[in-house]
C-alpha cells in the first residue's frame, strides 16, 4: 500500500455510504422495510452485497434494480478513491 492509498476502513465506509445514499435517493426512508449493505475489502478485492426490502405498493422503482444500482454506486465511489 502506498501513502496515497485509502485505508481498508475508508474503502468500506465509502462504499457503504454510496450504496445507502443511492437507495435513499430512490425511496423515502419510511418506504424501506429493511436494507442491508454488506461491504468487504480484502487483498484489494471489493465485495458489495445489497439486500433491499420495500413494500409491494412501493415497487417503483424496481427494488432489484435499485439494489444492483446501489452496488454499482459503491464500486464507483471506491474507484474514485483510488483515482485521486
pLDDT tens for 26-59 read 999 998 999 999 999 999 999 999 999 998 775 6
- Evaluate whether 74 touches 16 at the Cβ level (below 8 Å): yes
Catalogue the E-assigned strands of 10-79: 34-42, 45-53
DSSP 3-state of 72: helix
Total of domains in the chain: 1
Residue-wise pLDDT tens digits, 72-82: 999 999 999 99
Does some domain include residue 3?
Answer: no
Does some domain include residue 1?
Answer: no
CATH code where residue 61 lies = 3.30.300.100
- Evaluate whether 74 touches 48 at the Cβ level (below 8 Å): yes
- The domain of 64 spans 8-83
What is the rounded CA–CA span in Å between residue 84 and residue 82? 6
- Evaluate whether 35 touches 26 at the Cβ level (below 8 Å): no
Amino acid at each position: 500500500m502506498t501513502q496515497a492509498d485509502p485505508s481498508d476502513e475508508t474503502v468500506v465506509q465509502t462504499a457503504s455510504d454510496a450504496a445507502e445514499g443511492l437507495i435513499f435517493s430512490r425511496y423515502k426512508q419510511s418506504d424501506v422495510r429493511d436494507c442491508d449493505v454488506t461491504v468487504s475489502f480484502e487483498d484489494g478485492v471489493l465485495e458489495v452485497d445489497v439486500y433491499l426490502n420495500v413494500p409491494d405498493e412501493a415497487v417503483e422503482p424496481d427494488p432489484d434494480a435499485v439494489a444492483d444500482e446501489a452496488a454499482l454506486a459503491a464500486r464507483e465511489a471506491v474507484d474514485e478513491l483510488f483515482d485521486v
